Amino acid sequence: MSGTTTLEPRRWWGRAWHDTLAAAGPSGTRAAQRGQALSRRGAVEDLSVAPGRIQARVVGDRGEIQEISISCPTFGAETWEIVIDRLADELRFTAALLDGSLPEGIQAIFDDLGTALVPSFEELTIRCSCRDRGLCRHAAAVHASSGVAIDRDPFLLVRLRGSSRDDLIRQLRGRRGETGASELGRNLDTSTGFSSARGDLDAIRLQPTPVEDPAALLRHLGPPPGVDDDRPLELLIERAAAAAWRLAAGDGADAADEELLLAELRAQRTATPDSLATALGRDPTDVRVELDRLFDAGVVMRTGSGDRARYRAASGRG
């Protein structure tokens, strides 16, 4: 891993990892600041996450190379069994994990076991080949770059603690399958078939929640073939998810249509009413009217007029 990176975490697991160095005190804070500067400069290379260990190299200002490892305890099979049993109790946990996210409720499960998924500073064993004592800037740089990777892929924390995404999902599916079969057996009269299953489906309470990171699956799979910059796709997914949630929350189709239009405009960067209408399956005249309304409101920018008009999203929006 190399190149300039953005270090500000966006999700709770990334923020939790980022905050661990605060426990190192003032000297740790200074090292963290210097390490973040190194990380932003792309000095961290060959970053890898394995069960119980993060390893990387840091290239200094004069080309000197330091080898760093950050170790922490892994959880045994018994702990993971308990965690999986608890996760399988609620469908929303499984759904979130399948979506590439970590539900915040997972923290309470580990709290009950007297531990945490995100290691504390006291759990970390940090080693660097430099001669500095305590937390050095090289180790802090690796910690910062690790945070970027973890913020994008929370299952790196699962790997660090001794399991993997595939094992977690496979066992959860198994638990859910056993639970579903057991519940079905209790509620189904096998002599008459599924039509005699007891209970009113309309009485089932649905409690949807917004997806914290709609584009997580895209980042997990990587950019599609031939796509060098997948950020426009991320924006489109995030906008579509926001529009879907607003519809589910009862904000109305007009608000959702506006969200989708703005998402497509950002994806195209500069667009015409015809290109937007084609992408969204809408009438070009309706799209033009809506774009002009958004232009008057300062939401979009416009160059040219008539058939030569081009639109783009105003800076600072989204």
pLDDT-above-70 percentage for the chain: 78
The pLDDT tens digits for 165-174 are 888 888 887 7
Q: What angle do CA 278, 284, 289 make, to 5 degrees?
A: 135
In the predicted model, is pLDDT for residue 181 greater than 50? Answer: no
CA 46 to chain centroid, in Å, comes to 22
Q: 74 versus 100: which is more confidently predicted?
A: 74
Handedness of CA 186, 191, 193, 197 (dihedral sign): negative
CA distance 288 to 303: 13
Q: Please, what are the domains in the chain? A: 12-75+115-162 (no CATH), 216-313 (1.10.10)
pLDDT-above-90 percentage for the chain: 23
In the predicted model, is pLDDT for residue 195 greater than 50? Answer: no
Compute the average pLDDT of residues 284-302: 88
- Backbone φ and ψ for 101, nearest 5 degrees, come out as -125, 165
Which of 151-165, 186-200, 270-284, 285-299 comes out lowest in average pLDDT?
186-200
CA distance 311 to 237: 20
What is the pLDDT, as a whole number, of residue 182? 44
What is the pLDDT, as a whole number, of residue 157? 93
Q: Which helix (H) or strand (E) covers residue 70, if one does? A: strand 65-71
Helices (H) and strands (E) in the chain, counts: 13, 6
Question: pTM, whole model, 2 decimals?
Answer: 0.56
